[in-house]
Amino acid sequence: MEDKTHISKTHFQDAEEFNIGKQAAYVSMKGVGHKYDLHPDTPMVVQDIDLDIHRHEFVAVVGPSGCGKSTLLRMVAGLLIPSHGDVSVFNLPVTEPRDDVGIVFQKANLLPWLTVRKNVLFPLKHKYGRYSASDEKRANELLDMAGLTQFADKMPDELSGGMQQRVGIIRALLLNPDILLMDEPFSALDALTREQIGFDLLDIWKEHPKTVLFITHSITEAVLLADRILVMSKRPGTVLDLIDVDLPRPRSQKTINSSRFAELTDLIRGYIYEPNTPA
C-alpha cells in the first residue's frame, strides 16, 4: 500500500507540466464579481476584478475596510465561488476547495493542547492520521528557519503573538503548497513585532518560494513585502490600480527609509484617502 504519510506533491504542483513560467498567469481572475445574496437588490461586494498573479510572485491587496479583499482570497482558495466571472489556478477553473493552497489567517489558531511542533505537524495528522519521520524532519527544519527550535516543545500559550504567527506560517508551508494565501496575518501584532515578522516572512519566502496573495490594511507593510500591489476601491471593491513595487530585493530597514518607499506609500494613500477614481 502506498505510504501517504509523507508530504506529497499534488497533481498540479509541478507547474512545468502546464508550461507555466515565472511570467505566465499562475492565478487568474477575469471579470470577477461577487455578492453574498442572489436577491437583485443586494449590492456587489467586489465587481469587475481582473488580476493575473505570476508564479512565485508576491502580490498584496490593500483597500478600505469592507471592500472585499478577503472575498478575493476565499475565491482563490476555492472556499467561495464568484457570482460573476472566472477564477483559475494553473489554467484550471477553481470550483472547490484546493488542497494545494496554504492559508494563514489573522489569528494563528494553534491548538492549545498540542506543542508547537505538533501544531506544525497537525495538518498531516488530520489529513492522513499520522506522519512520518521525514515529515517530522521537515517540520524541525521549518521551525529552525523561523527561529523557533528552542520553543518546539513549548505550548502555544508560552509563546508571544509574533511567535504564534510564525508557527501559523510554517504550519501552512508544511504540506509544501503551491500558493500561500495570507489574510491580514499580522494585524493583531504591535508595530515593532509586525515589522520584524514581515522581514522574517521575506526570509522564509526566499528559502521556500511560493505564489503569495497577501491581504493587509497596512500600506507600508504592502510596499515592504510585495512585488505588486492591487489597490481596491470602497465597496463594491473594484481595481483602482495595480502598482509595481520597483524596490530592489532583499528588502531591509534601508528600504523602508528610502525616498522611493515613501513615494510608493504616498501614491497608495492617495488612492485610499482621496475619492476613488481608477487609474
Compute the distance between CA of residue 83 and CA of residue 76 in angstroms, rounded to an integer.
Answer: 14
Q: How confident is the model at residue 36 (pLDDT cuts 50, 70, 90)?
A: confident
- pLDDT greater than 50 at residue 10: no
The predicted structure's pLDDT at residue 156: 96
The predicted structure's pLDDT at residue 6: 41
List beta partners, residue 91. none
The predicted structure's pLDDT at residue 129: 84
Delimit the CATH 3.40.50.300 region(s) of the chain.
Answer: 26-100+178-279
The predicted structure's pLDDT at residue 229: 98
Q: Of 30-39, 93-102, 253-262, where does the model show the most confidence?
A: 253-262
User: Could you report the per-residue pLDDT of 66-106, keeping only the tens digit for each?
Assistant: 999 999 999 999 999 999 999 999 899 999 988 889 999 98
Contact 46, 63 (CB under 8 A): no
Q: Residue with C-alpha cell 511542533? A: 117
Strand order in the sheet with 84-89: 46-54, 25-34, 84-89, 92-93
- Calculate the average pLDDT of the chain: 88
Average pLDDT over residues 9-16: 42
Average pLDDT over residues 112-121: 96
What architecture does CATH give domain 26-100+178-279?
3-Layer(aba) Sandwich (3.40)
User: Could you report the per-residue pLDDT of 191-215, keeping only the tens digit for each?
Assistant: 888 999 999 999 999 999 999 999 9
Kindly state the helix (H) or strand (E) to which residue 229 belongs, with its residue range.
Answer: strand 228-232
Kindly report the pTM of this predicted structure: 0.87
Q: How confident is the model at residue 18 (pLDDT cuts 50, 70, 90)?
A: very low
The predicted structure's pLDDT at residue 23: 60
The predicted structure's pLDDT at residue 155: 97
Contact 106, 187 (CB under 8 A): yes
User: Could you report the per-residue pLDDT of 126-176, keeping only the tens digit for each?
Assistant: 878 888 899 899 999 999 988 999 999 999 999 999 999 999 999 999 888
> What would you report as the CA-atom Rg of the chain, rounded to the nearest whole angstrom?
19
CA 240 to chain centre: 21
The predicted structure's pLDDT at residue 215: 98
Q: In sequence order, what are the residues at sequence separation of 6 or more whose Cβ sits closer than 8 angstroms to the Cβ of residue 148? A: 116, 163, 166, 167, 170
User: Could you report the per-residue pLDDT of 265-277, keeping only the tens digit for each?
Assistant: 999 999 988 765 5
